[in-house]
A and B are shown apart, each in its own frame.
Chain A
């Protein structure tokens, strides 16, 4: 079987870091503004206007932060793994940078998810934490993010560190379906998904602020990753310049 020839795809149009930086510089403020706007609207609606829950009361409002952070901690990981794959297979210069850019943002989202979940769990379940399938696999996701960050910096040789981080990122994708389906495969304390292909079991008055807030989280995630990409590109150029200067002086 011949591998599909995707080498001629125009991945190279944005591969030039300078061109990418120009594109990212224009896009970043828009993403951040849109993100803050959506998140603000979603949170005002969710925290002040949406009704309390019939069982949980006011505690339900943590949903508007907890659920979006969980979604994009997972989504971000998938993006990071795809970038790691692209770096491994096509040696795309920006792909390796994306891995480094996404990891801390995703780790932060996973941390927000874990902390808000814990705060919600105490009054609702009666405990801060249990080692059930969903909570444990979500903690694994956070640790995988930390592992990727650590591996990038493990080697003196940046390229080797990145390679190992990339392997971990790719292997860790196994955890994504485990997180998603943990609540169906095994019995867990955590409840099953409320939003499915067949519909949502969240009342529309609560679903609207949730989706608004999620849109905000998405734009913020993208914006923060672009900020980090630009920082990393600038850092790389500084390093190159220092190397050239050292070479000339030497």
Chain B
């Protein structure tokens, strides 16, 4: 066998190093699976049974028809669901524009003694769909409602129909 030229040696070395790195990266990515997750779904939380006061990020969809406000209008109550489990959430503070039923949210907070999740921070998730309002409306009219599409009003106003109000 002919002795490899230096540049071939370097190429083989570089490619071998890259392959090792790639494998290391894949292993790291799998190992990080749980810790790199930004939030926990209601079913994760149901399985883990966190202690009251333990700070967690809860993520999922706002359950349809679950949004209400306290009598004084300051506390927002809603249910976060991942279709497998539900978590009841209370939040007091500014509500992001995109907060809607059937839309993703991430709430940071902890459980109180009564099993209610009290959020200190509320973030709205956005999905990968982008379309003009007319298209969303047309889709809805034809029986293909778009997730989180505004029906009559938007944002925090949507809780106006709340029986407590």
Interface residues of A (CB under 8 A from B): 2-3, 5, 7, 51-57, 60, 63, 85, 88-91, 123-127, 130-133, 170-171, 173-174, 177-178, 181-182, 185-189, 191-194, 201-203, 205-206
- Select the residue from B22, B38, B128, B132 with max chain A CB neighbours within 10 A: B38
Contacts of B135 in A (CB 8 A): 54, 203
- Distance in angstroms between the alpha carbons of A131 and B108 in the assembled complex: 13
- Give chain B nearest CB distance to A71 CB in angstroms: 15
A residues in contact with B54, CB < 8 Å: none
User: With the chains together, A85 CA to B41 CA distance in Å?
Assistant: 42
Q: A125-B98, A125-B123 are in contact. Are A203 and B130 (CB under 8 A)?
A: yes
Choice from B24, B25, B37, B150 contacting A55 with Cβ under 8 Å: B150
Q: How distant is the Cα of A127 from the Cα of B121 in the complex, in angstroms?
A: 10
Is A7's CB under 8 angstroms from B5's CB? yes
Chain B residue with Cβ nearest A7: B7
A133 CB → nearest B CB, Å: 5
Complex CA gap A205/B33 in Å reads 37
Contact in complex: A171, B21 (CB < 8 Å): yes
B101 to chain A, nearest CB (A): 13
Which residue of chain B has the shortest Cβ distance to A122 in the bound complex? B96
Q: Which residues of B approach A to under 8 Å, CB–CB?
A: 4-5, 7-8, 10-12, 14, 17-18, 21-22, 24-25, 29, 32-33, 36-39, 41, 59, 94-98, 100, 103, 106, 121-137, 146, 148-150
A-B CB proximity, top 8 nearest:
A126-B96, A51-B132, A54-B136, A132-B38, A203-B131, A174-B25, A194-B128, A3-B8
Pair B37/A191 contact, Cβ less than 8 Å: no
In the complex, A47→B103 CA distance in Å? 26
Instruction: Please tell me if the beta carbons of B97 and A123 are within 8 angstroms of each other in the complex.
Output: yes
Contacts of A60 in B (CB 8 A): 130
Q: Which of B10, B59, B136, B137 has a CB less than 8 Å from the CB of A88? A: B10
Can you spell out 30 A-B residue pairs with CB atoms less than 8 angstroms apart?
A3-B4, A3-B8, A7-B5, A51-B134, A54-B137, A56-B97, A56-B126, A57-B97, A63-B130, A89-B10, A90-B7, A124-B96, A124-B124, A125-B124, A126-B95, A126-B98, A126-B122, A127-B123, A181-B29, A186-B33, A186-B36, A186-B37, A187-B37, A189-B106, A191-B125, A191-B127, A202-B129, A202-B131, A203-B131, A203-B132
Is A85 a contact of B38 with CB atoms below 8 Å? no
Contacts of B97 in A (CB 8 A): 56-57, 123-124, 126
Bound CA span A203–B38, Å? 29
Interchain CA distance A55-B21 in the complex, whole Å: 41
Residues from chain A with a CB closer than 8 A to the CB of B136 are: 54-55
* Chain B neighbourhood of A188, CB < 8 A: 38
Closest CB in chain A relative to B5 CB, distance in Å? 7
B165: min CB distance to chain A, Å: 23
Kindly list chain B residues whose C-beta atoms are within 8 Å of the C-beta of A85. 14
Distance of A130 Cα from B38 Cα, bound (Å): 9
Residues of A within 8 Å of B148, CB to CB, are 55
Contact indicator B126/A125 (Cβ below 8 Å): yes
CA distance A63 to B128 in the complex (A): 12
B106 nearest in chain A by CB position? A189
What A residues does B22 contact at CB under 8 A? 174
Does B36 lie within 8 Å of A133, measured CB to CB? Answer: yes
List 13 other contacts, CB 8 Å, given A187-B39, A203-B130, A203-B131.
A51-B133, A51-B134, A53-B131, A56-B98, A126-B122, A127-B123, A130-B123, A132-B38, A185-B29, A186-B38, A187-B38, A194-B130, A206-B130
Q: Which residues of chain A come closer than 8 Å to B94, judged between CB atoms?
A: 126
Are the C-beta atoms of B5 and A55 separated by less than 8 Å? no
- Which residue of B has the minimal Cβ distance to A57? B97
A88 contacts B130, C-beta separation under 8 Å = no
Chain B residue with Cβ nearest A54: B136
B17: min CB distance to chain A, Å: 8
